[in-house]
Structure 1
Amino acid sequence: MSNLADEVMISPKKRARHDNEEKNQDRLSDLPDCLILHILSFLNSKHTVQTCILSKRWKLMWKRIPTLILDSSNFPTVKHFSIFVSKILTLRDTSTALHALDLHRHGSIEPQLLKKVLDCVYSHNTHLQQLGISLHGETCLILRGISSCCALTSLKLSLYSRGSYNFDTTLFPKSLNLPALTSLDLTNFAFCGDENGRAEPFLTFTRLNSLVISSCTVKDAQILRISSETLVNLAMHNISSSFTKIELSAPSLCAFTINGSLDQKICGSGLFC
């Protein structure tokens, strides 16, 4: 664990300050474990690990946090980020259910490290409720891992193929079935059309409340159809001009936001044709 603290680069000056604070009564430490863990779950994982130096009670606390927020921008080099992610996945308490994971890497991620993250996702697939992944990597492997997460309520994906610099879109799987999903945010995806010339990618998400699609396109079709009885919020950003029409069937829709140029005709009940 001390090695992991070293990886997040705690300065000697900061460590000395925390050692002095340990001698005094810490109001935060008076709180029950469950409340402290809840508070720490909102922090970036790098910062949660740094709390291990606060006192003896906090030494192992970070291992039981039910969230992982892993962002490469918080590390000086890709190597530091990779070492940290690998160690935190190895050292965290595996008996603690993981409820949320957010992985952000601006660029490519090592295949071995991605596999380690996806193994963690799979091992907690019945408990994981919130998942966000933004990176360049093996997109098929990522989508296959997500498909097992039956408890997901929130999913945010921004995926690019490993080594891709022309931002090729990722095919969104028609078979993805996440029955509990209420919030979906997709960037850089292509939706495949059916035999009727329509792409209707969100039919299986019967509880969807919020949908955000950014820099997405349609393949082998001219119509994108968004049909949902439960959808309340819809946002579309920088949509490709590769298709000509958007059909909306969302009787519960309250907010519809469009950013960027929109070349498509929009049709739907209560809108305009």
Structure 2
Amino acid sequence: MAEEEDIISTLPDAILCHILSFLQTKQSVATSILSKRWKHLFLSVPVLYFKTTVTDQNEYIRFNDFVYSVLLSRDPALPIKTFFLEFTFNDYQILSPHCPMDTITKWVKFVAQRGVQYIDLYVGTVAFPEMPISILTCSTLVVLNLQCFSVEETFSPVLLPSLKTLHLENIWFNKLRDLMLFLNGCPILEDLFTFNVLFDSEESLTCDEWKTFCLSNLTRADIDCFSSHFPLKAVHNVSSLRLQIDRVNCRNDFISTFHNLTHLELIYLNYSWHFLLQVLKLSPKLQELKIDQAGLNKDYWTRKDDKENWVDPDFVPQCLSLHLRTCNLVNFLGLQGELQLARAMWERVVVISNVQLCKQR
């Protein structure tokens, strides 16, 4: 029987490095024992992917040494395109006297100096550690995903001229104003996601302070408005908008006309029909609308009343009669206000192709 051809060995190094970039760095390093050709190949992989859960000091020291050995062994001329770190520990006493954030900050600074384009950081602890400051001025950064960090009030000016995608989940700011200053440092941002962004101070913004602020290149926004009065005027250029909202934080004075909006999804509208009508009025090109009444609200299924009477509007939003094609009403309980809304949508949307009134558990 003829010897089977080793197809993988015939591939150029660039393709092999691309294949290795889909593995965790620990697995990529393990390939160095395969042959002389593979011995140093992992050092050219442009993606660094570190993931660990620390349970004791020895494990932390081993992981720390491993990351440093990989970083310092690389050729300084080779760029690091992606740095992914998922570091979890449950007790600071496990790592005492070590401070993991001091070390992680050094790692982030290292990759930032080597032209990193994608950073994904998650540090799972009992508290929100401070975000590495070097991220804020990384001129090559295109995608930034942050989970479970705090951004101090005294943070340096944000200069992220290349950033196009920003994902903030479980992030603590001192004030809402600090979040807006953060966004203001991302001039070409195209995609924004926020979830559970928290603030130490309840101070809110005023219209006058931010009436001219706008993320002009933003095309897609997915925003959690449970924690703050997010000024929707800042995202009025988007074509796709997903809002997780609460009636308490629905502020009409922060809404501007969404000239480009074609897709809108509202999660947990909480029977805020006036807010809905206002948004529809200011979305003249809307083509797809989805309203999910449940969202993350645990008390949703126990509701007995709309708690707000539906009032037929004295105007018909332009999008309803000209552009809207799809309307999905999800997790509606069939209460009076909901049925009146469904009827109003059905009667006024001339070219609508799909209406769904769903009750899902």
Match of residue 24 from structure 2: 44
- Counterpart of 1:72 in 2: which secondary structure? strand
Checking the alignment, whether the CA contact within 8 Å between 2:236 and 2:256 is kept in structure 1 is no
- Counterpart of 1:202 in 2: which secondary structure? helix
Match of residue 215 from structure 2: 228
Q: Between 54-63 and 71-80, report the one with greater CA deviation.
A: 71-80
TM-score normalized with structure 1 length:
0.72
Pairing of 1:7-22 with structure 2 (within 5 A): none
Pairing of 1:1-273 with structure 2 (within 5 A): 25-73=5-53, 77-107=59-89, 110-111=100-101, 113-124=103-114, 127-135=115-123, 139=130, 142-143=132-133, 145-160=134-149, 169-171=150-152, 173=155, 175-187=157-169, 188-190=171-173, 192=175, 199=180, 201-218=182-199, 219=201, 221-223=203-205, 227-237=214-224, 239-240=226-227, 243-244=228-229, 246-259=231-244, 261=246, 263-266=248-251, 267-270=255-258, 272=278
| Uncovered stretches (5+) of structure 1, i.e. residues with no partner | 1-22, 161-168
| Uncovered stretches (5+) of structure 2, i.e. residues with no partner | 93-98, 259-275, 280-361
2: CA distance, partners of 1:42 / 1:198: 33
- Counterpart of 1:176 in 2: which secondary structure? coil
Residue by residue over 1:107-136, the C-alpha shift from the partner in whole angstroms, topping out at 9 and shown as x without a partner, is 366245324413422431xx2111122115
- Counterpart of 1:147 in 2: which secondary structure? helix
Amino acid at match of 1:82: N
Q: Between 261-270 and 24-33, report the one with greater CA deviation.
A: 261-270
Amino acid at match of 1:153: V
- Residues 238/250 of structure 1: CA separation in 2 closer, same or farther (3 Å cut): closer
- Counterpart of 1:248 in 2: which secondary structure? helix
Q: Which of the pair is proportionally richer in strand?
A: 1
2: CA distance, partners of 1:239 / 1:227: 21
* Offset, 1:268: 2.9
1: CA distance, partners of 2:85 / 2:68: 13
- Residues 151/260 of structure 1: CA separation in 2 closer, same or farther (3 Å cut): same
Q: Which has the higher contact order (CA 8 A, sep 6+)?
A: 1
Checking the alignment, whether the CA contact within 8 Å between 1:131 and 1:154 is kept in structure 2 is yes
Q: Cα RMSD between the aligned structures? A: 3.3
Checking the alignment, whether the CA contact within 8 Å between 2:47 and 2:82 is kept in structure 1 is yes
Checking the alignment, whether the CA contact within 8 Å between 1:199 and 1:223 is kept in structure 2 is no
1: CA distance, partners of 2:188 / 2:176: 22
- Residues 247/92 of structure 1: CA separation in 2 closer, same or farther (3 Å cut): same
Amino acid at match of 1:139: E
1: CA distance, partners of 2:120 / 2:100: 18
Match of residue 17 from structure 1: none
* Offset, 1:90: 2.6
- Counterpart of 1:177 in 2: which secondary structure? coil
- Residues 78/259 of structure 1: CA separation in 2 closer, same or farther (3 Å cut): farther
- Residues 262/30 of structure 1: CA separation in 2 closer, same or farther (3 Å cut): farther
- Residues 89/174 of structure 1: CA separation in 2 closer, same or farther (3 Å cut): closer
Amino acid at match of 1:204: G
* Offset, 1:55: 2.0
- Counterpart of 2:80 in 1: which secondary structure? coil
Amino acid at match of 1:155: L
Amino acid at match of 1:206: P
Q: Between 150-159 and 223-232, report the one with greater CA deviation.
A: 223-232
Aligned length: 235
Checking the alignment, whether the CA contact within 8 Å between 1:237 and 1:259 is kept in structure 2 is yes
> Identity percentage over the alignment?
20
* Offset, 1:257: 2.0
Match of residue 165 from structure 1: none
Checking the alignment, whether the CA contact within 8 Å between 1:66 and 1:99 is kept in structure 2 is yes
2: CA distance, partners of 1:84 / 1:236: 37
